[in-house]
Amino acid sequence: MRAIREPLWVVSPANDVLLALDEQALLREAVEAAGGKWTVSDSGHEFTTLGAHDVWSSEEAEMLATLIEGWPDRTARTLALLEQLPPDVAARFPPDSEERSRLAEVSVRAGPASPEAVAAAALAFAEPSLAAKTVRRNARRRSDWLYGLRFEEIERVFDLHDPAGDLPIEIVSRWAGEFAIIRSQGSIARCLLAPDAVLELLRESEIEAAEAQDRMHDIPMQSGTASMPYPCRELWQAMRRGGELPISAVRRRVARVLLKAAAVPERVVADGDGAVRLEVLAGGEWRALALDWPEPMALAVHSETKASGRDR
């Protein structure tokens, strides 16, 4: 590794079960000494290996850009991208604007993503690398997260502003990954990503969070059924923000994360009395999503109280 004369891009998990930490440190030192780039993977050994089959990433693009001066031609890429966008969307990237510069950088880093997704990400996120990571390899294939959504719908998915604090895009992206198996099974499983199914998952996840136990969820497959857990406890804990928020705000925030991950456009609407409601776009129309039901812990206490009363 030290003697190699070609630049290397090496990806390794922080804790690889097949690479001891002291050996990993030696490897990283050798790679960087040879002028290579070391990237730490968020996944374990198995999924990092699977990810090695991909042919594009923002880290790879950034490394290549440092090796080849002027590569790629950002002006040409941006103009080609703008030609593929609806005129009203392209007009939001005027010449010499910050938005157009960001669009150029996102297009370089995102790889083969759809023009609408790249444009929406460039407008939604100030950091080009974050925008590119959010849409990379998306909206091109039927099983992709944002496939089939119009620009306006993708904008809704990327709208993270919430009255109780912005939603973390990292959590939305993670849950979009959790739903990848569902999307890969086509219509046989896609019904699980419809608004009413997401609402049911919301209620189930609240119970799991209250019980401090992530349950297995059945997913219909092309052949049989698969079961997998979702990180529900972690999601509710993150959305509670240390327990400082009322349950209505926590439910809304969890619902929005799940809906965005399911690629369901949603919006928060303020009522005249200062309250807010959550609406989803279904069948071309906006409809309110009911988030009122007894809290799981309150139900448990109520049941115990009734049982004690009967005993007495």
* Residue 308 in this model has a pLDDT that exceeds 70: no
Q: What is the pLDDT of residues 97-129, one digit of tens each?
A: 999 999 999 988 887 789 999 999 999 999 998
**pLDDT interval class at 296 (50, 70, 90):** confident
CB neighbour burial string for 228-240, b if at least 16 within 10 angstroms, e if fewer: eebbbbebbebbb
CA distance 49 to 134: 21
pLDDT of amino acid 56? 62
Distance of CA 240 to the CA centre of its chain: 19
**pLDDT interval class at 306 (50, 70, 90):** very low
pLDDT of amino acid 298? 47
pLDDT of amino acid 117? 95
pLDDT of amino acid 54? 67
Spatial CB neighbours of 133, under 8 Å, sequence gap ≥ 6: 58, 109, 173
- The DSSP secondary structure of 49-111, one letter per residue, reads HHHTT----HHHHHHHHHHSTT-S-HHHHHHHHHHTS-HHHHTTS-TT-HHHHHHHHHHHHH-
3-class SS of residue 151? helix
pLDDT of amino acid 307? 42
pLDDT of amino acid 98? 96
* Residue 133 in this model has a pLDDT that exceeds 60: yes
Q: Which residue has the tokens 């979009």?
A: 176
Average pLDDT, integer, range 186-212: 93
Going from the C-alpha of 303 to that of each of 1, 154, 200, 298, 300, the distances in angstroms are 65, 43, 22, 9, 5
Any idea which of 70-79, 258-267, 297-306 has the lowest mean pLDDT? Answer: 297-306
* Residue 70 in this model has a pLDDT that exceeds 60: yes
Q: φ and ψ at 16, to 5 degrees? A: -100, 125
pLDDT of amino acid 46? 82
pLDDT of amino acid 297? 63
* Residue 159 in this model has a pLDDT that exceeds 80: yes
| Domain positions in the chain | 1-51, 72-158, 165-301
**pLDDT interval class at 57 (50, 70, 90):** low
Q: What is the pLDDT of residues 250-292, one digit of tens each?
A: 999 999 999 999 999 999 999 877 789 999 998 889 999 999 9
Any idea which of 108-112, 154-158, 243-247 has the lowest mean pLDDT? Answer: 108-112
The better pLDDT of the pair 28, 137 is held by 28
Peptide bond into 72 cis (omega under 30): yes
* Residue 47 in this model has a pLDDT that exceeds 90: no
Q: What is the pTM of this model?
A: 0.80
The packing angle between helices 58-67 and 128-135, to 10°, is 130
pLDDT of amino acid 305? 42
The better pLDDT of the pair 34, 304 is held by 34
* Residue 62 in this model has a pLDDT that exceeds 80: no
* Residue 16 in this model has a pLDDT that exceeds 70: yes
